[in-house]
Chain A
């Protein structure tokens, strides 16, 4: 009623032309320049933060599990990751404005060192800035999801590899990575969807003016900027399709990885 209903009405309306007749016109207009560039930006930022967040998150998970840090660091990291992955939206945007905004603490520190970040082209309200902010919830999510997979690497495999004369590099290349690949890829896809559907953080940071698919829909709700309501529905449906695909691929990959990690 509150999940399927709204989606169905959007699906139906997206097929409705301005005169009320059924048509695919709205979907054809998805390829118009403004919509494509919003989607393009959304996809670029989601891909970047998924890949970076995935790699960094993996490294951190490795450090606290296999890397050999003392046990308390691990529980500290998982608890903090739980908090940080849920610490998004307005407070996160605010925290970054105070850190890397025009008068942020880090910006000021750089100025003391003689580097003017904003004059050298950096802006928190740009692609790079948004990436940095998104990573704040992407990395912890990666840590949370990938840690169990790293725990699933059996000690016996490593010992067996060493007994057979394998170097640590060989072990990682030939055994650990192939086993982990489905989990890593799957989680990165999850991160992709996570960033793709994000609205609150970007809205709070840029006031809804950045060119992202979610913000485009937001504008569509508060006033018809596109002058064609049907197109708004089509943009929304396009997002649902992309999200559904990413969740589907995630669950397939997750099932694959479970084969080894039982």
Chain B
């Protein structure tokens, strides 16, 4: 008798719980989808009395859009490459030889979370805008600094995914096997470790791409003509194009993170980007 009463109680409370879960989910979904829907709606209204993709056409036809976009892509790719070349050997070395240094490395890779981007760029300008380290004198040298900073910003994400990847394989056994076959360090890193980290590298790279591609703060104050400052300028000067741009940016982020899910099923290890 008592057990059936109890089980009925459990059942109704489970049903109530499920109802609340739905309420929370639907309200949450509304909050998150509404701005996207509104922006999408605006982006279709560039032509009078008619819904269409005119805003997108105008955006892509803008003489400044494609140069800014391609410059951002090149910057992102360069930053990713630099970051991988720095982090993979470091993480490998720390795992294999210097486990004592792990906390130090972890601390350094967490620094981008501690130093706000706007503070970082402030310091950069002061440090590199006068002799002996005059690096912000020309556009191209500033660009190199920007790429280096982006690489540094990606450390937390790349280090984490590489570290996860290294933990998932037996680094020591692989190294020893390669060594006993006569491989040197260079061969081990580039022909054994890198290929085995493919998934980890790819997800770290994609995450970096998502963060760096539209970065505003640092590019803005270093006077770079990349996508972030371009978008900020667009938002203030045009009516319909910004909505098309926001949708394109969202689609880009979605693509990058969707690809991560696809290549690294079940792998976790990210926090957040710069705002």
Contact = CB atoms under 8 A, between A and B. Distances in A.
Interface of A: 1-7, 9-10, 13, 56, 59-60, 62-64, 66-69, 73, 77, 79-80, 82-99, 104-106, 135-137, 139-141, 144-145, 148, 162, 168, 190, 193-201, 203-204, 207, 214, 217-218, 220-222, 232-233, 236, 239-240, 243-244, 247
Nearest to A69: B21
Contacts of A217: 118-119, 122
A63 B118 contact: no
Interface in B93-129: 108, 110-127
Contacts of A85: 272-273
Interface stretch (B159-167, B187-195, B231-239): B231-239
A137 B217 contact: no
Nearest to A204: B232
B24 A232 contact: no
Contacts of B110: 247
Contacts of B31: 135, 139
A63 B24 CA distance: 7
A90 B232 contact: yes
A201 B217 CA distance: 9
Contacts of B18: 67-69
B178 interface: no
A233 B220 CA distance: 19
Interface of B: 10, 13-14, 17-18, 20-22, 24-25, 28, 31-32, 34-39, 41-42, 108, 110-127, 145, 148-149, 151-152, 207, 210-211, 214-217, 220-221, 228, 231-232, 235-236, 242-243, 245-246, 249-250, 253-254, 257-258, 260-261, 268, 270-275
A84 B32 contact: yes
Nearest to A250: B113
Given A5-B123, A98-B243, A243-B116, 10 more contacts: A62-B24, A69-B18, A82-B261, A89-B231, A94-B39, A105-B38, A106-B38, A221-B122, A247-B110, A247-B113
29 contacts: A2-B124, A2-B148, A2-B151, A3-B115, A6-B120, A6-B122, A62-B21, A64-B25, A66-B17, A67-B18, A69-B18, A83-B258, A86-B272, A86-B273, A88-B274, A89-B214, A90-B228, A91-B250, A136-B35, A197-B117, A199-B118, A203-B232, A204-B216, A207-B236, A214-B116, A232-B122, A239-B119, A240-B119, A243-B115
A235 to B, nearest CB: 9
Nearest to B150: A2
A243 B114 contact: yes
Given A2-B148, A105-B42, A68 B231 contact: no
Contact of A3 (B20, B116, B152, B211): B152
A148 B122 CA distance: 36
Contact of A218 (B21, B215, B221, B261): B221
Nearest to B227: A90
Contact of A90 (B24, B216, B271): B216
In the complex, the 3 A-B pairs of residues with the closest C-beta atoms, listed nearest first: A6-B123, A67-B21, A197-B116
Contacts of A68: 14, 17-18, 21
B24 A9 contact: no
A214 B231 contact: no
Contacts of B148: 1-2
Looking at A62, A69, A97, A201, the one whose CB has the most chain B CB atoms below 10 A away is: A97
Contacts of B13: 168
Contacts of B123: 5-7, 9-10, 236
Contacts of A59: 24, 28
Given A60-B28, A139-B28, A200-B216, A98 B17 contact: no
Given A64-B25, A193-B113, A221-B121, A200 B32 contact: no
